[in-house]
């Protein structure tokens, strides 16, 4: 309740409450020293300079001055919630992962939804991909499924990620546009990166302006592996299907909502969970083997491709329920550290070159963002199963080895030991070949699935895509960039290309982009070719 009685007038004339007039704990410094006056600095005479021995003032301001940590380099704006994952049935035939062994078992989880390009204070309804990052605290360590609300990605190789993100965020000279992909740098990069076309179709669709987080799908994107107790591997794609179904807003609604309530999505999640309407997603998996993978023209290691759900219907294997908001946004949602490399025994990686690159990048970025190697000591990141290792020291060490032993093997019979039986063993995938930088031929078709996505849309949805492309490209000032994008659209759908060209007022229709240039080996190195090969 609100306390307004027994207010005491302090030395500066302010009204406040004291521990003596209220049944309240005594305020202390961070060192535990009791505080007599939190309103007036220590001065030499009432009108004099501050005294350096005011340790309370210095500590209070020092701590405040250091409140900000670097925001995430991407996905800076996000909102998280606690919940649980419930397994429908044993998946022991496919995976030995402990969380999938027992029907009905519930495992605690934390989810963070996010936009990608906007800074921490940007608006929720920007046209953007949404992050859908899930941390499941299994009995064999944390499993992070760090996904998005779209099943494919812009690029095929992690080495391009810094360029993609630089191009998508504010331009470095003017520092705008904020949270908005409608600008020259973004479309310049996209127009020079044909592999992005499938993702662009998704990003220009209504999927990029979801009604709320509760009405979004989530995708693990990459092909992963399940590995069972007999060490047999099955490829797996992960999908989250929202119980409420899929809904988006219209673009004119998105624009208005961003102005009137930039917190629209976080407010929605907060209110639904606080009122007991717990959002829920079903985890569905597409399971397949090497022979099935080989039956496609595209490569299942290529993250710009999906496996059509009508060819391989996803199977429901469990559900995710979000039922509790964090007590503190910073401690939990801001400090949570997702990392693709967090997988329990029974889940493993494929050779998707984007996934392999991510497995390096997330650990590296958390070290910087969370200020050192001990970010797993933060409760939101700590495993909820027993854990034991000999890592020690570093900034902010909370849990060092106890006793004499901090190494192994040791003669003292103390501390943890590795377990060939229970421990994670990487699936011994075959792999050999020359050490080269070369995209495989099987990654070369950039347009077929873009076309499939476009023609799968209803006429109204197709209009939205054309309108989105028109809006975005109308903010691009350089004519050749607009034309280059239209030249790619010609390889996707001619009507779409001519609609966008007409709306943009292009005087002449460009030629279709050379669909094969990226993998043709017989060409002299040209600027276009060196983009593909370097």
Q: Does 443 help bind ligand HEM (rule: CB under 6 A)?
A: no
Minimum distance from residue 263 beta carbon to ligand HEM (Å): 17
Q: Looking at beta carbons only, is 50 or 331 nearer to ligand HEM?
A: 331
Q: Does 301 help bind ligand HEM (rule: CB under 6 A)?
A: no
Q: Does 354 help bind ligand HEM (rule: CB under 6 A)?
A: yes
Q: Does 114 help bind ligand HEM (rule: CB under 6 A)?
A: yes
Q: Which of 338, 350, 358, 362 is nearest to 302 (CA)?
A: 350
Spatial CB neighbours of 239, under 8 Å, sequence gap ≥ 6 = 151, 217, 218, 219, 220, 283, 284, 285, 286, 314
Minimum distance from residue 270 beta carbon to ligand HEM (Å): 17
Query: 5-43 burial, b for 16+ CB within 10 Å, e for fewer?
Result: eeeeeeeeeeeeeeeeeeeeeeeeeeeeeeeeeeeeeee
Residue 100 tokens read as 């999938």
Q: Does 338 help bind ligand HEM (rule: CB under 6 A)?
A: yes
Name the one range near ligand HEM by CB under 6 A: 28-36, 85-93, 141-149, 479-487.
141-149
Q: Are 99 and 139 in contact (CB under 8 A)?
A: yes
Annotated catalytic residue within 75, 239, 446, 464:
75
Q: Does 112 help bind ligand HEM (rule: CB under 6 A)?
A: yes
Work out the angle at residue 216's Cα, subtended by the Cα atoms of residues 213 and 220, and round it to the nearest 5 degrees.
110
Among 361, 467, 470, 519, binds ligand HEM (CB under 6 A): 361
Distance, CA of 460 to CA of 246 (rounded, Å): 16
Q: Does 139 help bind ligand HEM (rule: CB under 6 A)?
A: no
Among 83, 118, 131, 353, binds ligand HEM (CB under 6 A): 131
Q: Which of 46, 129, 131, 45 is nearest to 80 (CA)?
A: 131
Q: Looking at beta carbons only, is 114 or 462 nearer to ligand HEM?
A: 114
Q: Are 71 and 119 in contact (CB under 8 A)?
A: yes
Q: Does 226 help bind ligand HEM (rule: CB under 6 A)?
A: no
Q: Looking at beta carbons only, is 265 or 484 nearer to ligand HEM?
A: 265
Positive or negative torsion for Cα 8, 9, 14, 20: negative
Minimum distance from residue 366 beta carbon to ligand HEM (Å): 6
Q: Does 345 help bind ligand HEM (rule: CB under 6 A)?
A: no
Name the one range near ligand HEM by CB under 6 A: 233-241, 360-368, 387-395, 466-474.
360-368
Total residues at interface with ligand HEM (CB under 6 A): 28
Q: Does 108 help bind ligand HEM (rule: CB under 6 A)?
A: no
Work out the angle at residue 183's Cα, subtended by the Cα atoms of residues 525 and 177, and round it to the nearest 5 degrees.
135
Distance, CA of 36 to CA of 50 (rounded, Å): 17
Minimum distance from residue 336 beta carbon to ligand HEM (Å): 6
Helix, strand, coil % in the chain, rounded to nearest 5: 30, 15, 55
Q: Which of residues 65-94 bind ligand HEM (CB under 6 A)?
A: 72-75, 78
Q: Are 320 and 111 in contact (CB under 8 A)?
A: yes
Cβ-closest residue to ligand HEM?
A: 131
Among 117, 200, 209, 221, binds ligand HEM (CB under 6 A): 221
Q: Are 316 and 284 in contact (CB under 8 A)?
A: yes
Q: Does 99 help bind ligand HEM (rule: CB under 6 A)?
A: no
Q: Would you call 75 a catalytic residue per the annotation?
A: yes
Minimum distance from residue 163 beta carbon to ligand HEM (Å): 11
Q: Looking at beta carbons only, is 82 or 96 nearer to ligand HEM?
A: 82
Distance, CA of 518 to CA of 429 (rounded, Å): 28
Give the CB-side neighbour count of residue 163, counting CA atoms within 13 A. Answer: 15
Q: Does 496 help bind ligand HEM (rule: CB under 6 A)?
A: no
Distance, CA of 314 to CA of 286 (rounded, Å): 5
Helix (H) or strand (E) holding 529: helix 527-533
Q: Does 110 help bind ligand HEM (rule: CB under 6 A)?
A: no
451 has binding-site annotation:
no
Residue 309 DSSP symbol: T
Annotated catalytic residue within 82, 142, 148, 491:
148
Residue 123 tokens read as 């608006």
Q: Which of residues 157-176 bind ligand HEM (CB under 6 A)?
A: 158, 161
267 has binding-site annotation:
no
The Cα diameter of the chain in Å comes to 87
Positive or negative torsion for Cα 98, 102, 103, 109: negative
Among 60, 166, 324, 369, binds ligand HEM (CB under 6 A): 369
Q: Would you call 148 a catalytic residue per the annotation?
A: yes
Which residues fall in the annotated binding site for heme? Answer: 72, 112, 161, 358, 362, 369
Binding-site residues: 72, 112, 161, 358, 362, 369
Rule CB under 6 A: which residues touch ligand HEM? 72-75, 78, 112, 114, 131, 133, 146-148, 153, 158, 161, 221, 303, 336-338, 354, 357-358, 361-362, 365-366, 369
Catalytic residues: 75, 148
């Amino acid at each position: 309740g609100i306390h307004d009685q027994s207010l005491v007038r302090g030395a500066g004339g302010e009204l406040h409450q004291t521990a003596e007039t209220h049944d309240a704990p005594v305020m202390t410094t961070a060192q535990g020293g009791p505080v007599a006056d939190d309103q007036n600095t220590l001065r030499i005479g009432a009108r004099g300079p501050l005294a350096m021995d005011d340790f309370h003032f210095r500590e209070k301001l020092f701590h405040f001055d250091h409140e900000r940590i670097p925001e995430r380099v991407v996905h800076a704006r996000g909102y998280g919630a606690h919940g649980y994952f419930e397994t429908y049935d044993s998946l022991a035939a496919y995976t030995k992962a402990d969380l999938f062994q027992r029907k009905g078992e519930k495992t605690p989880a934390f989810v963070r939804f996010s936009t990608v390009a906007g800074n921490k204070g940007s608006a929720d309804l920007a046209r953007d991909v949404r992050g859908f990052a899930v941390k499941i605290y299994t009995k064999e360590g944390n499993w992070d499924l760090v996904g998005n609300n779209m099943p494919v990605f812009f690029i095929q190789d992690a080495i391009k990620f810094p360029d993609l993100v630089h191009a998508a965020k504010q331009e470095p000279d003017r520092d705008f546009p904020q949270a908005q992909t409608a600008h020259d740098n973004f479309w310049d990069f996209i127009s020079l990166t044909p592999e992005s076309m499938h993702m662009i179709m998704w990003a220009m669709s209504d999927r990029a302006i979801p009604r709320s987080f509760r009405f979004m799908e989530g995708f693990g994107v990459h092909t992963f592996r399940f590995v069972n107790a007999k060490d047999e591997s099955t490829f797996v794609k992960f999908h989250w299907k929202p119980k409420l179904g899929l809904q988006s807003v219209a673009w004119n609604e998105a624009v208005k909502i961003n102005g009137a309530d930039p917190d629209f999505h976080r407010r929605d999640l907060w209110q639904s969970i606080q009122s007991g309407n717990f959002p829920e997603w079903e985890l569905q998996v597409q399971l397949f083997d090497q022979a099935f993978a080989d039956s496609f023209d595209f490569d299942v290691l290529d993250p710009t491709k999906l496996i059509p759900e009508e060819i391989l219907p996803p199977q429901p294997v469990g559900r995710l329920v979000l039922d509790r908001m964090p007590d503190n946004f910073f401690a939990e949602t801001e400090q949570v550290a997702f990392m693709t490399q967090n997988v329990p025994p029974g889940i493993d990686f494929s050779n998707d070159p984007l996934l392999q690159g991510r497995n390096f990048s997330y650990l590296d970025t958390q070290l910087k963002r969370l200020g050192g190697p001990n970010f797993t000591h933060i409760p939101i990141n700590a495993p909820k199963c027993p854990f034991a290792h000999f890592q020690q020291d570093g900034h902010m060490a909370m849990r060092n080895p106890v006793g004499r032993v901090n190494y192994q093997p040791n003669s003292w019979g103390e501390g943890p030991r590795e377990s060939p039986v229970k421990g994670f063993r990487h699936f011994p995938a075959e792999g050999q070949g020359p050490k080269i930088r070369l995209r495989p031929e099987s990654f070369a078709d950039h347009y077929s699935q873009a076309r499939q996505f476009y023609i799968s849309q209803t006429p109204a949805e197709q209009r939205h895509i054309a309108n989105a492309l028109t809006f975005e490209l109308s903010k691009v000032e350089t004519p050749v960039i607009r034309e280059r994008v239209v030249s790619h659209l010609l390889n996707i759908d001619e009507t779409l290309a001519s609609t966008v060209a007409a709306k943009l007022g292009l005087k002449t229709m460009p030629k279709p982009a050379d669909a094969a240039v990226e993998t043709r080996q017989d060409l002299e190195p040209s600027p276009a070719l060196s983009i593909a090969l370097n």
